[in-house]
Amino acid sequence: MIVFEHVGKRYGGRSEALADINFRVGRGEMLFLTGHSGAGKSSLLRLIMRLEKPSRGRVLVAGHDLDRFHLSQIPYYRRQIGVVFQDHQLLFDRSVFANVALPLEIQGVEPRESARRVRAALDKVGLLYRETALPIELSSGERQRIGIARAVVNKPSLLLADEPTGNLDPQLSADIMRLFEDFNRIGTTVMVASHDLALITRLRHRVLRLREGRLVGDEEAA
Amino acid sequence: MTRRTTSPESQRPARRGARASQVGLESRTRAWLRHHRAMWLDSAQRLAKRPLSSLLTMLAIAIALVLPSGLWLALDSARLLDAELDESATVTVYLDTRLDERAAMEVAARLRDQTPVAGARLVTAAEGLAEFQEGVGLEDALASLEDNPLPAAVVVTPADTDPDSVRVLASNLEAVDGVDEARVDLAWLERLRRLAELGQRLALALAGLFGLGVLLVVGNTIRLAVESRRQEIEVVTLIGATHAFVRRPFLYSGAWYGLGGGVLAIVLLVLGGHWLSAPVTALAESYGAHFTLPRLGLGGSVLLCFCSTLLGWLGAWLAVGRHLADIKPR
């Protein structure tokens, strides 16, 4: 699903954010990406989302060399990836329902079909009863779950999460991770960047360890 | 639309996949139209939510539109006046003072037979004197003269009022026996035409400048709108929105601003026309002319609105294009 071949990334004149990264992720896998802040986790995810191009090497996702995409193809590529952000990135001027429907609106899904899928996604994260609420009325855990609902509403084949439990207490964090495992169980490839080592070790999935832009560990699921 | 990338539709179970490919283009067109309709409404609602600032923007556009279109209208009416003046373009042929009245009539008849002449009216020396006295108010001074100093004249109306052909006609008329001088007073007519031409160029230049002004006004407003919706733009870009999708609501906002500005400009032109019409008519009457201020009419109004909407749309397009490049999702 994801292939990194000798990938390096340098921003301006500063030292390398990523250096000679090599790994493969199979379809339907679930794995964690860990390391201290500044180790390059976010840079790596940004490369997969094609927000940036690598300075060196190749990134392939679902068989596509991301470097070869024409600018106009990138939006269509991104529609296949669900992304969960640390700060959830919800739009505060519209309801929970409208937020989750956003990816479907972008893809031009028929309103009735869209409503059905939005409710299914909200039901999955256990917040169907909040569909008319505004994001401001929700707790941070609820907001994160809405963010997840939005990321999975168009049934992406790849789900990326950047520190999805960053601001949550351990109980809520465990709930969120369980959600990701559920999506993985139905075939979605899931990659979660997190520095919450205690949580990661408990969950027993493959872990990629980054330190100062280098891949220093690739531990298979125990 | 989904070129090399496989769409999520095709990755779903076959039951749905078959249906999805069947509806392909039609459903995409429907989705496209749906988004246009949604953004058309949404952008109007956003404008209505902040009526005062929207109105001020539209007013700024309207003021920029009123000046060139007002000038254009004024020139248009000057052209009408010009056509009326064309008809009054005449050649005054002064006859030899030694001719008596009968000889003068014969010359007038000869002049009437010249080819490009539409008509010739004889003004005898006596009639000329009477007219002169009446017009100038020098009865006493003229009455003291023993002889009538004025020659008989024939006022010739040329068939072709083009300045050059009138000039040729005049020289031909001068060659006729018994004619002393043929005078063409075209200078003022030409001056008027030049003035009108100058005005037209001025109006075009103003239209260009103020059109640019409209672009800037809309561009600046849209720039602020883009800035205030920055997070939204970042989010939708992250989840796969195309540039066209992001641009659409702003283009509609720009078009609305333009349309509103155009309508306000028409209102201003109508109000201004009413306000000026009484003194203008009075002024024209004092010159013995019939002149009323021109109206924009339905066609003109539609054209003005169309142009302003287009300008608004264009301004928004330029502004969004310029600022979308700056917005990179973090």
Q: Break chain B into its structural domains and give their ranges.
A: 35-84+191-324, 90-185
- Smallest CA–CA distance, residue A169 to chain B, in Å, is 25
The pLDDT of residue B88 is 62
Q: Is residue A133 part of a domain?
A: yes
Mean pLDDT of B126-148: 68
A202 found inside a domain: no
Q: How close is the nearest chain A Cα to the Cα of B207, in Å?
A: 37
Report the Cα B57 to chain-centroid distance in Å.
23
Among chain A residues, the shortest Cα distance to B36 is held by A108
Give the SS3 label for residue A161: strand
Give the CA distances from residue A50 to residues A59, A163, B243, in Å, rounded to whole numbers and listed in that order.
9, 18, 15
pLDDT band at B310 (very low <50, low <70, confident <90, very high): very high
**Residue A218: inside a domain, yes or no?**
no
pLDDT confidence tier of residue B97, bands split at 50, 70 and 90 = confident
Does the pLDDT at position B130 exceed 90? no
Q: Which residues of B touch A (CB under 8 A)?
A: 1-8, 11-12, 27-28, 30-32, 34-35, 231-232, 234-243, 245, 328-329
Q: Quote the pLDDT of residue A216.
A: 87
How far off is chain B from A222, nearest CA to CA, in Å?
A: 30
Q: Is the pLDDT of residue B18 over 50?
A: no
Threshold 0.80, pTM exceeds: no
Top residue of B1, B2, B3, B5 to mutate, by most chain A CBs within 10 Å, is B5
Using CA of residue A33, residue A37, residue A43, residue A46, what is the dihedral sign?
Answer: positive
B239 and A106 in contact by Cβ < 8 A? yes
Across the range B275-301, mean pLDDT stands at 80
Structure confidence at residue B2 as a pLDDT band (50, 70, 90):
very low
Among A170-174, B18-22, B131-135, top mean pLDDT goes to: A170-174
pLDDT at B83: 62
Q: Answer whether A62's CB lies under 8 Å from A1's CB.
A: yes
Kindly report the average pLDDT of chain B as a whole number: 79
* Beta strand pairing call for A2-10 and A56-61: antiparallel
Distance from CA of B214 to the nearest CA of A (A): 30
Q: pLDDT per residue over A86-139, tens digit each?
A: 888 899 889 999 999 999 999 888 889 999 999 999 998 889 999 899 999 998
Query: Do A106 and B8 lie within an 8 Å CB cutoff?
Result: no
A60-73 CB burial, b ≥16 within 10 A, e <16: bbbebebeebeeeb
The predicted structure's pLDDT at residue A103: 93
Instruction: Lowest mean pLDDT of A177-186, B195-204, B305-314, name the range.
Output: B195-204
pLDDT score at B138: 63
Alpha helices in chain B (DSSP H): 14-49, 51-87, 101-113, 125-136, 139-143, 163-174, 187-228, 230-238, 243-286, 297-324
Pick from B6, B8, B235: CB nearest A155: B8
In terms of Cα–Cα distance, which of B279, B299, B281, B226 is closest to B77? B281
**Domain membership of residue A121 as a residue range:** 91-155
Question: Is pLDDT above 90 for B311?
Answer: yes
B90-185 sits in which CATH class? alpha beta
Beta strands A158-162 and A81-84, pairing class: parallel
CB contact under 8 A, A108 and B34: yes
d(C-alpha B277, C-alpha B275), whole Å: 6
In DSSP terms, B91 is beta-bridged to B156, B184
> Which residues touch A171 (CB under 8 Å, ≥6 apart)?
none
pLDDT at B84: 62
Query: Does position B167 have pLDDT exceeding 50, yes or no?
Result: yes
On the question of pLDDT at B121 being above 60, the answer is: yes
**Percent of chain B residues past pLDDT 90, beyond the cut:** 19
Most confident of the following: B136-140, B181-185, B208-212: B208-212
On the 0-12 / 13-18 / 19+ scale of CB atoms within 10 A, B169 is buried
| Beta carbons within 8 Å of B191's beta carbon, 6+ residues apart | none
> Cα dihedral angle (B184, B185, B186, B192), rounded to 10 degrees?
-170
Residues B246 and B326: beta-carbon distance below 8 Å: no
The answer to whether the CB atoms of A91 and B242 lie below 8 A apart is no
Which residues from B are below 8 Å from A107, CB to CB? 8, 31, 240
**In chain A, whose CA is at the least distance from the CA of B235?**
A89
Averaged pLDDT for residues B153-162: 75
A-chain CB neighbours of B28 within 8 Å are 108
Which member of B4, B235, B237 has the closest CB to residue A73? B4
Decide if pLDDT at B255 tops 90: yes
According to DSSP, residue B162 is labeled -
Cross-strand partners of A173 = none
Enumerate the residues of chain A whose CB falls inside 8 A of the CB of residue B238. 49, 51, 78, 83, 89
Residue whose C-alpha is closest to residue B5's, from A92, A80, A60, A163: A80
Task: Give A105's contacts in chain B (Cβ within 8 Å).
Answer: 35
The three-state (H, E, C) secondary structure of B234-289, written as one string: HHHHHCCCCHHHHHHHHHHHHHHHHHHHHHHHHHHHHHHHHHHHHHHHHHHHHCCC
Which residue stretches of chain A have pLDDT < 50?
none
Q: Is residue A162 part of a domain?
A: no
β-strands A64-65, A16-25 pairing: unpaired
Average of pLDDT values for B50-68? 91
Q: Is residue A118 part of a domain?
A: yes
Section B88-97 average pLDDT: 75
- List of residues 6+ apart from B275 with CB closer than 8 A: none
pLDDT of residue B302 exceeding 90, the answer is yes
Asked whether B305 and B215 are in contact (CB, 8 A), the reply is no
pLDDT of residue B22: 47
pLDDT band at residue B142 under the 50/70/90 scheme: low
Residue with tokens 């103003």: B206
Our count of domains for chain A comes to 1
DSSP code of residue A93: T
Cα distance between residue B166 and residue B87, in whole Å = 12
- State residue B81's pLDDT score: 66
CA-based torsion, A188, A191, A192, A198: positive or negative: positive
More confident residue, B18 or B319: B319
Q: Answer whether residue A34 is part of any domain.
A: no
User: A77 vs chain B: nearest CA distance in angstroms?
Assistant: 6
Angle at B323 between CA B318 and CA B326, to 5 degrees: 145
Q: How confident is the model at residue B164, as a pLDDT? A: 75
Does residue A178 belong to any structural domain of this protein?
no
| pLDDT reported for residue B10 | 39
